[in-house]
């Protein structure tokens, strides 16, 4: 039976959702115009005033915000309430060198935690569950978000944060954790460690996992589900918009429901910036309509995906987004070709390898070098050198047909690629451009 945290809104009719969005958007535009000179200036440059925005159909008239704006306005330029009304900041990992600092009022945190609670209940969580939150706590939104959501559902919450994998496993076993929240790469690592300890899926009390904060493939999902004996749910979010819980998977696992009472989603053509009709692939853009402290307007996520409002079998009516292929931040351009690390992962898993790999790119004599290091596994090892060379060749061929360019594949010792307790480091780009 499907359970909802806030059924009345999660299963509201499309008309009700539209009416709510219209009302909240109008209010939010006024709030931002009055309190964020940075955005007001952008609106003025476009010749738009709050009076022009009467509902979601006028959304396209508003200017965009991008990561570059966040950098320009750092740290307070997009703040919409007095600092004394803020109770928290969270910040991005800064892996791309552009740290984002987001502010929250108490109400903002409350609504964010509601979104996470919806995700936990959609994964089957109730107040009878023991929920282990192995996302990092601290500036990263993963730990605090799911922690708050877990409290709201009434789960017994184990705030392990990430790291110390043996202790993670001890808690899962001793306290009979039923739900695990962490990044998919950390879930895979926990699974790998459990397997090494000789634990079979039947001996692991977990039944569900909520994994997000990085792109992961369907193959990786199946792998984690098998090793841990769970159902694995995807969760999506950005620090700029609150954190995890912007959208989440339900039991149908046919895309992630966007919490439309808080976020309006659009798909645009990333080049022309034109809004595309439902069902088209394009860049995901969000407008936060309830956040008070840090209200992102038409924020360009750089995530490429597709939206659908088709009725979902879980009963929720909120629009679903397909799993993004990967953050465009994750996207590499190698010899002019777009490469997502998740594509490499798909090839590895299809050929029976674990998703322990690293992509190393460099530029030698004006040409990109593209090396993929793959960890040798006992299953793939044989005493026959010719056979190993064949397998290496098969990996190169698999990647060539997936990407259109051929990497050099090296087989490296097991465990030689550093394991991650948060977001995995998949790419080392040594190019100086």
> Of residues 280, 313, 416, 428, which one binds other proteins by CB under 8 A?
416
Reading phi first (left if > 0) and then psi (alpha if -120 to 50, else beta), residue 216 is in beta
Q: Which stretch in 71-79, 85-93, 262-270, 373-381 sits in contact with other proteins by CB under 8 A?
A: 373-381
Task: Indicate the residue among 54 and 408 with the shorter CB distance to other proteins.
Answer: 408
Task: Indicate the residue among 328 and 351 with the shorter CB distance to other proteins.
Answer: 351
CB of 382 to other proteins, least distance (A): 7
Task: Indicate the residue among 170 and 389 with the shorter CB distance to other proteins.
Answer: 389
- Using CB under 8 A as the binding criterion, the count of chain residues that bind other proteins stands at 18
CB of 377 to other proteins, least distance (A): 7
Could you tell me if 5 and 153 are in contact, meaning their C-beta atoms sit under 8 angstroms apart?
Answer: yes
CB of 364 to other proteins, least distance (A): 17
Task: Indicate the residue among 396 and 427 with the shorter CB distance to other proteins.
Answer: 396
Distances (CA, A) of 124 to 77, 187, 253: 40, 18, 13
Task: Indicate the residue among 173 and 392 with the shorter CB distance to other proteins.
Answer: 392
Could you tell me if 52 and 58 are in contact, meaning their C-beta atoms sit under 8 angstroms apart?
Answer: yes
What is residue 209's three-state secondary structure?
strand
Q: By CB under 8 A, what part of segment 375-414 binds other proteins?
A: 376-378, 381-385, 388-389, 392, 410-414
Q: Which stretch in 80-88, 106-114, 333-341, 371-379 sits in contact with other proteins by CB under 8 A?
A: 371-379
Task: Indicate the residue among 89 and 412 with the shorter CB distance to other proteins.
Answer: 412
Instruction: Quote the CA–CA distance of 46 and 273 in Å, as a whole number.
Output: 14
Q: Which of 43, 50, 67, 41 is nearest to 286 (CA)?
A: 67
Residues with Cβ < 8 Å from 275, sequence gap 6 or more?
Answer: 60, 266, 267, 268
Instruction: Quote the CA–CA distance of 50 and 39 in Å, as a whole number.
Output: 12
Instruction: Quote the CA–CA distance of 232 and 312 in Å, as a whole number.
Output: 18
Task: Indicate the residue among 254 and 392 with the shorter CB distance to other proteins.
Answer: 392
Q: By CB under 8 A, what part of segment 158-217 binds other proteins?
A: none
Task: Indicate the residue among 12 and 359 with the shorter CB distance to other proteins.
Answer: 359
DSSP annotation string for 299-336: EEEEEEEEEE-SPPTTS--S-EEPPPSSBTTT-EEETT
Task: Indicate the residue among 73 and 411 with the shorter CB distance to other proteins.
Answer: 411
Instruction: Quote the CA–CA distance of 33 and 49 in Å, as a whole number.
Output: 8
Binding mask 59-98 for other proteins (x = CB under 8 A): ----------------------------------------
CB of 374 to other proteins, least distance (A): 11
In the chain, the largest separation of any two C-alpha atoms, in whole Å, equals 74
What is residue 181's three-state secondary structure?
strand
CB of 419 to other proteins, least distance (A): 12
Instruction: Quote the CA–CA distance of 296 and 294 in Å, as a whole number.
Output: 6
Residue whose pair of structure tokens reads 């987004």 in the numeric block:
321
Q: Cα angle at 218 between 324 and 122, to 5 degrees?
A: 75
Q: Which residues bind other proteins (CB under 8 A)?
A: 376-378, 381-385, 388-389, 392, 410-416
């Amino acid at each position: 039976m499907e359970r909802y945290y806030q059924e009345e809104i999660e299963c509201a009719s499309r008309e009700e959702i539209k009416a709510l969005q219209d009302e909240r958007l109008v209010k939010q535009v006024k709030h931002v115009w009055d309190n964020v000179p940075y955005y007001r200036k952008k609106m003025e440059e476009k010749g738009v005033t709050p009076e022009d925005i009467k509902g979601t159909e006028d959304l396209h008239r508003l200017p965009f915000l991008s990561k570059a704006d966040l950098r320009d306005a750092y740290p307070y330029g997009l703040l919409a309430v007095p600092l004394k009304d803020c109770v928290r900041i969270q910040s991005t990992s800064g892996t791309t060198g552009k740290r984002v600092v987001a502010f929250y009022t108490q109400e903002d945190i409350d609504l964010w935690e509601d979104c996470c609670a919806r995700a936990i209940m959609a994964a089957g969580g109730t107040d009878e569950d023991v929920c282990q939150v192995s996302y990092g706590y601290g500036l990263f939104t993963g730990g605090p978000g799911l922690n708050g959501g877990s409290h709201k559902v009434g789960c017994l919450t184990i705030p392990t944060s990430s790291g110390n994998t043996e202790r993670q496993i001890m808690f899962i076993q001793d306290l009979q954790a039923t739900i695990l929240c962490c990044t998919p790469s950390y879930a895979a690592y926990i699974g790998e460690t459990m397997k090494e300890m000789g634990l079979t899926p039947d001996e692991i009390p977990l039944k569900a996992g909520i994994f997000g904060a990085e792109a992961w493939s369907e193959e990786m999902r199946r792998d984690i589900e098998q090793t841990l004996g769970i159902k694995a749910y995807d969760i999506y979010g950005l620090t700029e918009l609150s954190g995890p819980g912007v959208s989440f998977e339900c039991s149908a696992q046919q895309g992630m429901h966007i919490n439309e009472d808080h976020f309006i989603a659009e798909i645009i053509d990333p080049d022309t910036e034109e809004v595309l009709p439902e069902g088209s692939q394009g860049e995901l853009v969000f407008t936060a309509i309830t956040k008070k402290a840090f209200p992102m307007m038409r924020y360009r996520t750089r995530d490429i995906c597709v939206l659908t409002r088709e009725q979902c079998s879980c009963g929720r009516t909120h629009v679903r987004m397909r799993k993004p292929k990967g953050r465009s931040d994750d996207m590499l351009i190698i010899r002019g070709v777009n490469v997502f690390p998740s594509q490499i992962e798909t090839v590895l898993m299809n050929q029976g390898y674990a998703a322990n790999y690293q992509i190393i790119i460099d530029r030698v004599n004006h040409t990109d070098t593209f090396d993929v290091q793959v960890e040798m596994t006992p299953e793939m090892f044989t005493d026959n050198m010719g056979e190993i060379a064949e397998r290496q060749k098969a990996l190169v061929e698999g990647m060539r047909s997936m990407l259109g360019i051929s990497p050099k594949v090296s087989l490296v010792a097991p465990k030689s690629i550093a394991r991650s307790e948060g977001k995995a480091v998949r790419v080392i780009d040594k190019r100086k451009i």
